[in-house]
Amino acid sequence: MARPAGRPGRAIAFRLIGSAVVLAVLLLIVPFPDIVAALRRVPFGVWAGALCAYMLVHLVGVFKWLLLINTAGAGLGLVQAVRCYYYGLFGNVFLPSVVGGDVVRAGLAMKLSRSKSGLLLGSLADRLIDTIGLAAVAGMGALLLPTALDARSRRIFVGVAVGLALLGLCLAAALVLLPVARRLSFRHRRLLVKIRQAVLALRRCPGRLASALLLGMLLQALLIVLNAWLGNAVGIHISLVVWLFVWPLAKIAALLPVTQGGIGVREGALVILFQPFGVSSASAMATGLTFTAVVMSGGLLSGLVAWLLRRRDGLAGSPFAAVRA
């Protein structure tokens, strides 16, 4: 019994080491004094305002999640949803990825939901729509981006876009040609079945599904504006169109399960993606680190908000009980 219990701890330790290694490599490439100088340009008032904005922006995520799970039959109230959702943000600080935060959120909501299957399917649909919304925002940025580029950067962008398109076609062809379902384990096949059930459960309400997608895109767009504001304080003065393209790709890169919360990978992606637009590596990395500080502080503050609301519904217990279960 002790062996399985140690696996989450080993996974977290592995990702913490991964973050340390990636950040160390970046510090070998990007001059540390330049990063410190860029960080010092951010006034405390701007950082505090970004933290408040981060907390408020995620209310859009609350409404989106509540819309989907209640459509699937969960029957949660608004305050209950706020508590569970913000406990999920708190979990993101300590658990390996946003998926861990989803587990905390769903696990606590189980005690309040009328339909556990509806809650699970709605939560799964919420994660899928978040991914689609992020990709849609990145696509909009890609379509608008050529208008903000000079001739040299436009050629680089076209080359990168062609490379990504070819990679996507290769992956799609591999999925079509290979008997993927037969090669997957029972656990992964069961996950595919749940995804299909989530889609079938929500397809009966296309209007709510479309509303959830729009809310997801709004959430991502507001987070991009927040990052652009922090970037402007650091010294990155570029078109918002560039942010629409760069930030979603950096966020997608941060989902790779090799670092804790994407720390290190997100900063490295920003350094690389901002290069064609004349943004210094130090400024790009400083922006990523500033937003990481906002995310971590926002997660801790979210835990406090959820804890203060706990007496309203009488939901007790540790927010990580669902993960241990």
Residue range 69-92, pLDDT digits in tens = 888 778 888 988 999 999 888 887
Tally of domains within the chain: 1
Q: Tell me the CA distances in angstroms from 128 to 32, 122, 124, 173, one per residue in order.
A: 38, 10, 6, 22
Domain span holding position 70: 2-324
Written as one string, the DSSP assignment of 173-204 is HHHHHS-HHHHS-HHHHHHHHHHHHHHHHHTT
CA distance 21 to 4: 26
User: Coil, strand, or helix at residue 156?
Assistant: helix
- Give the residue among 82, 44, 86 at the shortest CA–CA distance from 63: 82
Yes or no: say if 123 and 65 are a contact pair by the CB < 8 Å rule. yes
CA distance 261 to 100: 10
Give residue 164's pLDDT.
58
Residue range 121-164, pLDDT digits in tens = 888 888 888 888 888 887 777 777 766 655 655 665 566 556 65
CA distance 155 to 170: 23
Mean of pLDDT over the chain: 77
Residue, of 230 and 110, whose pLDDT is higher: 230
Write out the two tokens for 64. Answer: 């989106």
Most confident segment among 131-140, 231-240, 307-316 = 231-240
In the predicted model, what is the mean pLDDT of residues 190-212? 70
Residue range 266-290, pLDDT digits in tens = 888 888 888 878 888 889 888 988 9
Please provide the distance, in angstroms rounded to a whole number, between the alpha carbons at the two ends of the chain: 13
Residue, of 311 and 183, whose pLDDT is higher: 311
Per-residue pLDDT at 298 exceeds 70: yes
